[in-house]
Structure 1
Amino acid sequence: MNPIKHVPRPPQIASPMLAGLLYAIIWLALGALLLSLLLHFGNLKESSLPIFATFIHGVSAFAGGLTSGKRSGMKGWYQGGLLGLLYGVTILLIGFLAADAGFSLHTAILLGITLLLGAFGGVIGVNLKK
């Protein structure tokens, strides 16, 4: 048996925005899984879910902005902020189509949080590239 001399790397996502959105969705999935496990096995009440869900969305937007800023290498606040806005609109669109959720003050707060934390993540991500 001959050893493998060259293993090809999987293709990387060329667009920083698309890579950031993918990372944000992965962080969202992990956060939702953790939150559901805490709800099922812990003593977490359902009435506190909106606060934790907003926190998870913020962390996801930050991680996506960090990835987007790091991959773009410049204009981190712009890349991250745009990613946060895109992530927030995607989440709101999914909520509107799946659960018939309307627009309210909570919607504006969620968009603001994802925009700001995405921009902050983008700034940090550009500075991590060095």
Structure 2
Amino acid sequence: MNRSPLLSGLTYSAGVALIGTLLASLLMLGTGLSENSWLAVTLFIHGLALLVGGIITGKRCESRGWYHGGLLGLAYTLVVWLIGFLAYDSSFTRELMMIAGLALAAGAFGGMIGVNVKK
């Protein structure tokens, strides 16, 4: 099956985010980490997920990796916001804006890496 680069990157990003969230939850359950550190952990997981997704997107698009990775970051942010809105009736928050900025940067950087790894 020949999927679009954006859909492939979004799928990999979601997978990495899911695995990272499960590992972080188990870590917090098994240790005495407070929930105050959750924002930093969340930002790390989203950043890592978008870096991986950006690399996949960049490899598949073969050009303009920063552009396609940035689009991946926007799409990922939209999906995160949509899930939060539908499940928790949340609106745009400061944390979501932080995730959006991180998503654009990590996705674009991953896209640039992915385009250059291909060659």
TM-score, normalised relative to structure 1: 0.87
Gaps in structure 1 of 5+ consecutive residues: 1-10
Paired with 1:51 and 1:129, the residues of 2 have a C-alpha distance of 32
* Percent identity over paired residues: 46
What one-letter code is carried by the residue in structure 2 that aligns with 1:20?
G
Paired with 2:3 and 2:95, the residues of 1 have a C-alpha distance of 34
TM-score, normalised relative to structure 2: 0.95
Work out whether 1:30 is the aligned partner of 2:28. no
1:1-130 to 2 correspondences below 5 Å: 11=1, 13-130=2-119
Gaps in structure 2 of 5+ consecutive residues: none
More helix by share: 2
Which shifted more, 98-107 or 69-78?
Answer: 98-107
Give the C-alpha shift of residue 113 in structure 1.
0.6
| Superposed structure 1 runs of 4+ greater than 6 Å apart | none
What one-letter code is carried by the residue in structure 1 that aligns with 2:24?
L
What one-letter code is carried by the residue in structure 1 that aligns with 2:32?
N
Say which SS state the counterpart of residue 43 (structure 1) adopts: coil
The alignment yields a C-alpha RMSD, in angstroms, of 1.0
How many residues in Structure 1 have an aligned counterpart in Structure 2?
A: 119
What one-letter code is carried by the residue in structure 2 that aligns with 1:95?
G
Paired with 1:109 and 1:42, the residues of 2 have a C-alpha distance of 27
> What's the counterpart of residue 8 of structure 1?
none
Deviations 1:35-55 (A, max 9, x none): 011011122211211211111
